[in-house]
Structure 1
């Protein structure tokens, strides 16, 4: 069973959680490791998809519930163009197509292996889906596609080095049509996974290395608002999603914190 709520304030830490976060500073990722993680980011994500293929992430059927503007596309006779930034194996846009949304899809990911898996899906048709490998920190990453009506960034910006956040957002801003929408969801500040990182995994403030070499950043809503507005977006909504996955039979109670936002290009 899942319980979900929304709030405007970030989580208040317990004394135990504060101690765990302080311990992370006792041993940081070395500068050499940091450089290696950045230069080999594509390799680490390729290894991730080689090991997990399409089994790791569940299809994101919740996307229409959380962003009901997408529901309007079901009744539209006009095709809408959607760019999914960091598409993985298609867990977001394939459920939208299954729901009958009238979409032409542009989907990119850093990992070539992920894109190969997207193209192996039985629904993949080149007249409706253009899946391509791209480094979204590069200024030319979207130069070959037309402006889009809608873009999604779901658990992707957190995998980018913080120094490159603005580059990514400007690239996305430039490819969205005036009046277009951007739907965003990512890891929130003091999420359970942030607090559980052991010493030796912290790269910098709120930025961490996982065991497999991929990285994760944890955002506050204030930081998201500043980042996106600086890059030209107008905030429609911006809040924390507090979610608990509860299974009394298995004695599981897992709290999660995400940041969920909508932006428009005015």
Structure 2
């Protein structure tokens, strides 16, 4: 994938001391905060406001977060080991080891499969394949996303990591309903593609067997080949007609996908607040499946308030069984005094050595500066309300470290700022975005 920040749209930048002082002055000058009754009303209506948000935007607001694989792939693939790449040697040695292990595994699996296929009947081999697939699913890592929304993080991972199990939880019932419908649609489309693949494979088998039988009888062979081709075309057309393609076209039996904008490695939405920002196009991965592929296993997606101890129970999953927890632009939407409850619940769900992967808004981000200039959005220090009445907090890396590492619950693996200048060509704007990205490991 092309690095999004290494392009003419998004470039990296270093925040100078002069810029820091300038932004700090603007934010500190904003001393006006909401009244207590306004704060209480917003807190009480938190779930209602998120339901309204998803009811209005559906799945068309946020971009699919393909950058998660780019940033955290080594966490997902390696067996609970993550080391910051300080030298090229360490990276090369890891890649060589993974390549060797994959090649050895593939050779062994191929040889074992060939022996089994010769000795067993076709019925037995099919049942064995199903059994193996079930075992793989059950043995795969368990990924829990807190604040999964409509699946902009979860679905790209489900399509990428076929051996993993996934659970998504969110505050909003509307978001969960949309996610479940969206995933069901993707699975159905994928199954239809499997039917197309089976039809094609059947036609190839018929053609090969025909050639073997006919041999040198060229005249008869050509006529029979045409019959098979026509039959294959009819079957393919019927299968394609059963698929409700909305954003694709089928030409000559091949699926032609619509063009989507490349370079979504970083979230560049939410420039001001939800109500005034540019909506991103819905780059759903369901339109990127060109042929049948194995998918990850979505165990469940359900409504849970992770800030309430009573709701964060074993109904989600058994405590101490999760390998990785995702907190992607979620902790910032929680009231500061309830953030520690989210951290404690993460600790309950994770295995020993499990990871929390976090991306969120950083102090002095453009959005915070704009809120400060408006002088009517501030709830408390670094905590604001958007136009749609949802919350946003702007973090420092030090604050995040204290949240996770107090009481000796987690150890810090990565905790850094990501600074990008995002160019909006249409509006001729250059926007300085600041995010925090962190990895914490359960002790």
Deviations 1:216-255 (A, max 9, x none): 0000000000100015111101000111212456522111
Deviations 1:172-210 (A, max 9, x none): 111001111110011101111001011121000000011
Give the 3-state SS of the residue equivalent to 2:186 in structure 1: coil
Aligned residue in 1 for 2:121 = none
Aligned residue in 1 for 2:343 = 169
Write the mapping of 1:226-237 to structure 2, written as runs, cut at 5 A.
Answer: 226-230=402-406, 232-237=409-414
Aligned residue in 1 for 2:435 = 258
Which is strand-richer, 1 or 2?
1
Aligned residue in 2 for 1:154 = 328
In the alignment, structure 1 residue 51 sits paired with structure 2 residue 225: no
Aligned residue in 2 for 1:20 = 26
TM-score, with length taken from structure 2: 0.56
Deviations 1:136-192 (A, max 9, x none): 011131421122111100110111110011111001111001111110011101111
Aligned residue in 2 for 1:181 = 355
Give the 3-state SS of the residue equivalent to 1:13 in structure 2: helix
Q: Distance in 2 between matches of 1:239 and 1:24?
A: 26
**Count of matched residue positions in the alignment of Structure 1 and Structure 2:** 263
Q: Distance in 1 between matches of 2:175 and 2:359?
A: 20
C-alpha change, 1:181 and 1:71, in structure 2 (3 Å) is closer
Aligned residue in 2 for 1:123 = 186
1:128 Cα offset (Å)? 2.8
Aligned residue in 1 for 2:302 = 132
Q: CA RMSD in A?
A: 2.5
Give the 3-state SS of the residue equivalent to 1:216 in structure 2: strand
Q: Distance in 1 between matches of 2:50 and 2:18?
A: 30
Does structure 1 conserve the Cα–Cα contact (< 8 Å) formed by 2:353 and 2:441? yes
Aligned residue in 2 for 1:102 = 163
Aligned residue in 1 for 2:398 = 222
Give the 3-state SS of the residue equivalent to 2:20 in structure 1: coil
Aligned residue in 2 for 1:190 = 364
C-alpha change, 1:93 and 1:23, in structure 2 (3 Å) is same
Which runs of 5 or more structure 2 residues have no equivalent in the other structure?
Answer: 1-8, 79-97, 106-135, 189-295
1:13 Cα offset (Å)? 2.4
Which runs of 5 or more structure 1 residues have no equivalent in the other structure?
Answer: none
In the alignment, structure 1 residue 39 sits paired with structure 2 residue 38: no
Aligned residue in 2 for 1:143 = 314
In the alignment, structure 1 residue 88 sits paired with structure 2 residue 149: yes
Does structure 1 conserve the Cα–Cα contact (< 8 Å) formed by 2:158 and 2:297? no
Q: Distance in 2 between matches of 1:119 and 1:202?
A: 35
Give the 3-state SS of the residue equivalent to 2:149 in structure 1: coil
Does structure 1 conserve the Cα–Cα contact (< 8 Å) formed by 2:382 and 2:394? yes
Aligned residue in 2 for 1:2 = 10
Bigger Rg, structure 1 or 2: 2
